[in-house]
Structure 1
Amino acid sequence: MLYGFLTYTFIGWLLLCLPSFHKQAVSALDSLFIATSAISTTGLVTVSVFDTYNWLGQLVVMLLFQIGGIGYMTFTSFVLLSKKSPLTHWHQRVLNAEFSMPKGFEIKDFLKSVIIFTIVIETLGALSFYIAFTQAGVDHNFAIWSSVYHSVSAFCTAGFGLYNDSFEQFADNSFINTIISVLAICGSLGFIVVTDLWNRISGKATAITYTTKTIFGVITLLLTIGTFMIYFFEPSVSHIGENKLMASFFQSMTALTTVGFNTVPLGSFSLGVMLVVIFLMYVGASPSGTGGGMKSTTLTALIAIMWNRIRNNKQVTFFGKVIPLERLYVATSVFMLYASVIFISTFLLAMTEEFPLHQILFETTSAIGTVGLSTGITGNLTAWGKVVIIFVMFVGRLGVLTFGLAILARRKEIIERADEGDLAV
């Protein structure tokens, strides 16, 4: 996975450096930033994609976040399976690393649902966008390309747009807001949920899995809390009037699903509400989806650990089910690794950049969660600051735990006996 995403990033960078892909000159570092942001489906940009790159350049960016959204191994594996060719052991290992799946899921059925669902949703999204954009007065020819581009971007939770103000000009357009929300939620819920629901509808399974129930519950709860906090405590959404609830939901949704579009300038948010948005970006979407972040199921496992420890239970349970110890190890490791990356990158940027700490923290959390929301400082980062964010975005897409395993894990398991030492905690 590490080498695969590095390769795609490098190829995308080389293409975006070609003058024939430009409308105006752009530095190699900025092109690397855009390529990394696209493959990681983040959406942070140091230059305007629409003003800097021509149609070919924009197409390269779109292909990068399409690959980043559904996984770089997904399409080739699907082609092999459609030709009745068995997946190699190497293919299966990479896919299992890229998609965290509960027991009982067949990789063949899973890949099929990923490809079909992606094509269907993005096609419906593009058609809906075209109707919405033409109704909003967008030119016919541009509306076609804009519809395809934003449909893929929204479903892959990439946050890349062809409008320099994201979707602020469409803040009161309920149709466009709804399309983005549906696409982003479909992508961020994860292909586990899609496969699970399809198996239930088609009769392959008698009930949806425990993972799907947990994902639905946690995402609904967090979306409700985020919308409530923004609606009642954020003054900057008040001017929207009757669409205040829609705007509050949209900013909550865009942070949690990591889609990265916004209809309200986030730089004007109060510190308290900005902290809520940072928390939503930190948690992020669900496993095996197009979104980033720590994942909703990781938060669930952490809450279960804390709750059962307080109750003095011997086993960690959640909604009557025992969570396996291996999953708990993963959850705590991901939580600590995410916190470590945010702390270190925030420290490094605080030493080199002249922005307030809360804006730097917002930027680093957005990068590691592959969200793409910004308070407006991305384009003004120093060269060193851009390098830091590039690294953080790449690690965020690969996954902090996967990145750590790729760099530090032993190739062969070493069994060694160690003396037990009691550690007071």
Structure 2
Amino acid sequence: MKFSKELKKIYIKLVVRWRRLYKKYRNDFRGVEVELYDLNDRLRPYFRGLSLSLMLLALASLVGSFGFELPTEYQRLNSYLEFVIVLGFFGLFLSRIFFTSQRLQLIKSHLLEALLLSLLAVASLFYLLGIDSIFLVWGSLLDIDNTFRLLVFLTKIYLILLVVAKVIQASPILISVQRHPARVIVGSFAFIILFGAFLLMMPLTTVDGQGLSFVNALFTSTSAVCVTGLIVVDTATHFTTLGQSIILVLIQLGGLGIITFATLFAIFISDRLGVGQMMFLRDVLSEDRAHETFSTIKRIVGLTFFVEAVGVVGYYLSWEGVLPDPGNRLYHSVFHAVSAFCNAGFSTFSNSLADPANALNAGVNITTMFMIIVGGLGFTTIWELVRGNPRRKIRNRKWSLHTRLVLITTGLLIVGGAVMILALEWNHTLQDYATSDKLMLGLFQSITTRTAGFNTLDIGALTDGTTVVFLTLMVIGASPASTGGGIKTTTIAVLMLTVITTIRGKSRVEVAKKTIPRSTIYTAMTAFTLAAACLFLFTMLLTITEDLPFLDLLFEEFSAFATVGLSRGITSDLSTAGKSIVTLSMFIGRVGSVTLALAFAKRVDKQQYQYPKESVIVA
């Protein structure tokens, strides 16, 4: 439809007038923008202080409402406090928008916060206007029949997400301040362990309503974050659903690494990372190319969630006859899928998977073994198996030397371990089982022993010979860049190749037409030596503090340091000193003895000179 000439003239006049008014507005308020910019700089420290205070209040309110059984009057008072906190965040956010000259950039960098505030503001407005029918429909799905209670619930969800967002937004700042990757890794694990211990001390996390003592909470939190699986109380019967959920989150964070999660979400909800921060993360993730750091993080998280989803389906189908309730079955499936992939060994069954319904369930065994193997191969190896060697210009199936060593060593350990376990236990622990069940149980023990910690047999009933096999498999552990522990498969492979090279009289370690650098050999020797020193020291300390059989203490220490989680039944009998020693062992074993040494060692600049050589008789 064509406009008449008069309408066109009116339209043009309006456009011209609007542009003049907008230009005049911009000129008149340019000085105000400069004043606001200066004022914003002066107010920024106060904004940060108020934001931190509100976040601490929100965290305290959430812990009080979820972790403690508050009286009715305090519950309502806490609900009003949460609304006041939300109003404080709302006023702070509007103040920041008013006092800044880059409003659009501020909203983009705090998009999650802006979205949550908008949704909560709309919900509150509808509630005040009495238009609450739509909320009662959604509330019925959550078993909430009162609009006020639903609004309180939404407020809690908002505060939880906001606290998470605030912590994540701070991660790029922390990364830019601290340039030492080893110290950040150690510090991040220590922080999440202490925070997890504090959460597990809340009364509502345990069935008896008492919470855990500090020593037991610290032990359990360390075991979860370090994906070990050693327990001082029964996870299935001692913890409530809240307590088990906290353990599950700690396992997921510890399996993937806190830095990986924080960086991924920080990039999504905050500004992109700078060059210095990307270089730092490259060192944390052992990535050769800094520009592919973010892609590496996305691959790690994406692969994790995909494999865990496959595990959930496998467990869900396998427990159809054991757990008839779909919701309960899904909960157990999710918990075990995360625990198995992260090689944690935590279970929502009192005797892990050793009861007949699980020990002889082919679906449960196959799913668990698949999850343990994939989680223990390492993200670098998994991605190379999926997409080929990224370092080759032509993408084909010729794998890198790292992937070859991982696959060969893993295969030899699984097969060799299974054969030795079957040979030693065929007429002992396995004598009452059918042949097919013996093979499955032997293979499962060989796979889980290296780092996972699930068991389908009574570990305390095994022969001494099998126990020695377990000790060997445990100390070797999984592969680098994986969710498992131990001194790593490639470390053993490099050391064995070095031994063979020395025996044959060669000067270089060569395999598959490749030469392994001396720096790699030195790192492997350092990892092995530090691990041996730690195992010797902590085992000796346990023999001093505990009045228990030496083999049981040795097994416990190997299991803790290698983050395996298998035990001969003495974990709960350890004294406070013994639990502290095992806790420290789990922490060092997870972050790595080499990483811990690098975090506190004084670095020496590269030397530009070399002293004369002189031989020493060593053998």
Q: Structure 2: how far apart are the matches of 1:197 and 1:11? A: 37
Q: Does 2:576 align with 1:383?
A: yes
Secondary structure (helix, strand or coil) at the match of 1:301 reads helix
Q: Structure 2: how far apart are the matches of 1:413 and 1:56? A: 51
Listed as ranges, the matches of 1:364-379 within 5 Å are 364-379=557-572
Question: What 5-or-longer segments of structure 2 have no aligned partner?
Answer: 1-184
The correspondence for 1:192, drawn from 380, 402, 408, is 380
- Asked if structure 2 preserves the Cα contact closer than 8 Å seen for 1:81 and 1:87, the reply is no
**One-letter amino acid of the structure 2 residue matched with residue 396 of structure 1:** G
Shift of 1:142: 2.1
Q: Structure 1: how far apart are the matches of 2:400 and 2:273? A: 27
Secondary structure (helix, strand or coil) at the match of 1:73 reads helix
Q: Which has the larger Rg?
A: 2
2:403 aligns to what?
212
Q: Structure 2: how far apart are the matches of 1:208 and 1:72? A: 29
1:8 aligns to what?
192
Q: Does 2:301 align with 1:115?
A: yes
Q: Which shifted more, 244-253 or 197-206? A: 197-206
Q: Structure 2: how far apart are the matches of 1:136 and 1:347? A: 44
The correspondence for 1:280, drawn from 473, 479, 484, is 473
Q: Does 2:226 align with 1:40?
A: yes
Secondary structure (helix, strand or coil) at the match of 1:292 reads coil
Q: Structure 1: how far apart are the matches of 2:530 and 2:389? A: 38
Secondary structure (helix, strand or coil) at the match of 1:134 reads coil
Q: Structure 2: how far apart are the matches of 1:42 and 1:358? A: 19
Q: Structure 2: how far apart are the matches of 1:198 and 1:78? A: 22
1:182 aligns to what?
370
The correspondence for 1:255, drawn from 432, 446, 449, is 449
- Asked if structure 2 preserves the Cα contact closer than 8 Å seen for 1:110 and 1:195, the reply is no
- Asked if structure 1 preserves the Cα contact closer than 8 Å seen for 2:224 and 2:247, the reply is yes
Q: How many corresponding residue pairs? A: 423
The correspondence for 1:162, drawn from 348, 354, 360, is 348
Change in Cα spacing, 1:383 to 1:196, as seen in structure 2 (3 Å) is same
Change in Cα spacing, 1:249 to 1:104, as seen in structure 2 (3 Å) is farther
Secondary structure (helix, strand or coil) at the match of 1:237 reads coil
Q: Which shifted more, 9-18 or 50-59? A: 50-59
- Asked if structure 2 preserves the Cα contact closer than 8 Å seen for 1:42 and 1:393, the reply is yes
Q: Structure 2: how far apart are the matches of 1:102 and 1:310? A: 33
The correspondence for 1:349, drawn from 542, 556, 560, is 542
Shift of 1:37: 0.4
Shift of 1:71: 1.1
Q: Structure 2: how far apart are the matches of 1:392 and 1:91? A: 31
- Asked if structure 1 preserves the Cα contact closer than 8 Å seen for 2:389 and 2:400, the reply is no
Q: Structure 1: how far apart are the matches of 2:287 and 2:500? A: 25
Q: Structure 1: how far apart are the matches of 2:504 and 2:295? A: 40
The correspondence for 1:106, drawn from 292, 296, 301, is 292
Change in Cα spacing, 1:101 to 1:254, as seen in structure 2 (3 Å) is farther
Q: Structure 2: how far apart are the matches of 1:128 and 1:29? A: 36
Listed as ranges, the matches of 1:37-116 within 5 Å are 37-80=223-266, 85-86=272-273, 89-90=276-277, 92-94=279-281, 96-97=283-284, 99-100=285-286, 106-116=292-302
- Asked if structure 1 preserves the Cα contact closer than 8 Å seen for 2:508 and 2:515, the reply is yes
Listed as ranges, the matches of 1:223-262 within 5 Å are 223-234=414-425, 235-242=428-435, 243-256=437-450, 258-262=451-455
**One-letter amino acid of the structure 2 residue matched with residue 23 of structure 1:** V
Shift of 1:416: 7.9
The correspondence for 1:129, drawn from 305, 311, 315, is 315
- Asked if structure 2 preserves the Cα contact closer than 8 Å seen for 1:363 and 1:375, the reply is yes
1:172 aligns to what?
360
- Asked if structure 1 preserves the Cα contact closer than 8 Å seen for 2:401 and 2:512, the reply is no
Q: Which shifted more, 240-249 or 148-157? A: 240-249
Secondary structure (helix, strand or coil) at the match of 1:409 reads coil
Q: Structure 1: how far apart are the matches of 2:576 and 2:278? A: 37
Secondary structure (helix, strand or coil) at the match of 1:161 reads coil
Shift of 1:122: 0.7
Q: Structure 2: how far apart are the matches of 1:119 and 1:204? A: 29
Q: Structure 1: how far apart are the matches of 2:250 and 2:274? A: 24
TM normalised by structure 2 equals: 0.65
**One-letter amino acid of the structure 1 residue matched with residue 198 of structure 2:** L
Q: Structure 2: how far apart are the matches of 1:104 and 1:9? A: 29
The correspondence for 1:334, drawn from 527, 552, 570, is 527
Shift of 1:205: 2.3
- Asked if structure 2 preserves the Cα contact closer than 8 Å seen for 1:80 and 1:87, the reply is no
Q: Structure 1: how far apart are the matches of 2:410 and 2:530? A: 22
Q: Structure 2: how far apart are the matches of 1:397 and 1:295? A: 11
Which fold has the larger relative contact order, with Cα–Cα distance below 8 Å and residues 6 or more apart in sequence? 1
Shift of 1:276: 0.7
Q: Structure 2: how far apart are the matches of 1:238 and 1:321? A: 47
Q: Structure 1: how far apart are the matches of 2:200 and 2:189? A: 16
**One-letter amino acid of the structure 1 residue matched with residue 244 of structure 2:** Q
Q: Does 2:410 align with 1:222?
A: no
Question: What 5-or-longer segments of structure 1 have no aligned partner?
Answer: none
Q: Structure 2: how far apart are the matches of 1:123 and 1:43? A: 21
Percent of counterpart pairs with the same letter?
Answer: 32
Shift of 1:164: 1.3
Q: Structure 1: how far apart are the matches of 2:560 and 2:454? A: 14
- Asked if structure 2 preserves the Cα contact closer than 8 Å seen for 1:101 and 1:288, the reply is no
Shift of 1:101: 5.2
**One-letter amino acid of the structure 1 residue matched with residue 190 of structure 2:** L
Say what the alpha-carbon RMSD is for the aligned residues. Answer: 2.2
- Asked if structure 1 preserves the Cα contact closer than 8 Å seen for 2:406 and 2:489, the reply is yes
2:170 aligns to what?
none
- The one-character-per-residue Cα deviations of 1:182-217 (angstroms, maximum 9, x if unpaired) are 011111011011221232299972232111111111
Change in Cα spacing, 1:100 to 1:286, as seen in structure 2 (3 Å) is farther
Shift of 1:277: 0.8
Q: Structure 2: how far apart are the matches of 1:193 and 1:263? A: 28
